[in-house]
Structure 1
Amino acid sequence: MKKWYAVIGDPIGQSMSPSMHDEWFEKNELAATYIPIHVNEEKLEKAVHSLKCLGCSGWNVTVPHKSSIIQYLDEIDPFAKQMNAVNTVEVLPNGLLRGSNTDGLGFVRSLEELYGERCKGSEVLIIGAGGAARGISYALHKAGYGPITFTNRTLEKALNLCNEIPKAKALEIAEAERSLSTYRLIIQTTSVGMNFAQKGVPLNLGNIASGSVVADIIYNPLKTEFLSEAEKRGASLLNGTGMFVHQGALAFEKWTGIRPNTKEMNEKITDTLGGTYVNR
């Protein structure tokens, strides 16, 4: 019997996950398919019940449901619990639902795929204080990166994240701009620069050190204004395609036990979006 998987969110039409997972199913000769499902917040509980009753073998969760879905799951892995966010749901053999989060580790894998351990043990600046910042900071800390500094338009939110990451600190945007040369790794996690969000950059990059790695977790466009500004100043770049592919691959592996070809998929998605794979 053919298995089926899904991604739920609101909106959902922009997701590239269905084509990615369907290609992996085909490449690995698995009888399965993956579909996008639009779910409004007020219908989330019914959607989870329906997915389980209709035999969905697992699904991904995107905005705005990553935190609110937790109350409808039976088990949460420690990483997702720490983040208070789930992006992957497994249907266990006993019918229970287990939530996990692959976003942070997906970022770390994409970083190390391109730059190895070049930034490990160095100071890290994370711009933003939302769910993505939380997940990435936690995964980086666990992998041996840091110390980590958060900066955000609302400093209180950045200070709250410091309570979750050992030795982390928070800075006002202006202060972070003055001290940019301190950081070997700078990560932009806000929606600034995304195709359907506001244009511009979240902070001025005038003081970055040449040769630092500057990442933006946005993958559409492939090179945001933030990355373009970093490139002008001699930085090495990392866009969001790798994180997107690796977080999906980790979910795929949880569902099937198979690790898919991430390099090939990264190249394909980059080509689809009109660029070249080389992020450097």
Structure 2
Amino acid sequence: MTLIEAKDYVTRKLKSADVPDYLLESDLLLCKVLGCDRAWLLAHGDRQVFDHELEHLNALIDRRCRREPLAYIFGEAPFYGRTFLVGEGVLIPRQETEILVDMALSFAKEGVVLDWGTGSGCVILSLLLENPSLRGIALDLSPKAMRWAWRNVDRFGLFDRVVLWHESARLPNKWGDHGLDMIVSNPPYIPTADIGFLMPEVRLYEPRSALDGGPDGTQWYGFLFKNAPKWLKRGGLLLVEVGGRGREEAVLSMDHFGLVVHEVKRVNNSVSIVVFKNE
């Protein structure tokens, strides 16, 4: 089998499984097996595929046809110009969440940032890598997510600047002597009843705890609004990603326990970043 034939073979398999972007993904799977880029793949269409490569390719195809996310199959995902390790038990970084990092960097010049619901650690680690004057706390309820965050802290050599906090007991009423400079969070915001309608890659594989925002999708915003005023120093900021149609209005109309809306940035038709100030 040549690479041209292999690409056609992979494409047909993925298309039959209703995989989105099956043409692109056929190239990506072949590149993963061969350790090459797409340009090399295109230029060497007559190259023969060896038996051991075909065996590896079929194993990846089977996983993708079961709609396992490509990021889980590859064990990594891009975020903010870097590659983060991901896998079963952790939310895959989304491109729109990079705007949360952009906004946090525009406000935070130094100090301590808490990433509530850190997942893979992509947000807090991106902040620390972009700004050497920041220190961080990466907090998550999930032990599986914490393991992925640990791997990424190790990957980027940031153990001297970030604390990994497994939220399995009562959280402190106050962080440090003076409080936090900033809290960033991409909390679960999908209404419980909507999870069953998500695409299979999300519904079947990504952790429900990172998706389920309660009956109306605002459960964890309420938790953050209640606790942020006692965690933040005066003048400190809470930045949250808000997703879903109509969710921005719902979040803005909630009790913010003294937090003041400082800025709202709409990323697209369904995602916003809302900044609150602790005055």
Structure 2 length-normalised TM: 0.47
Kindly name which structure, 1 or 2, has the bigger radius of gyration based on alpha carbons: 2
Structure 1 length-normalised TM: 0.47
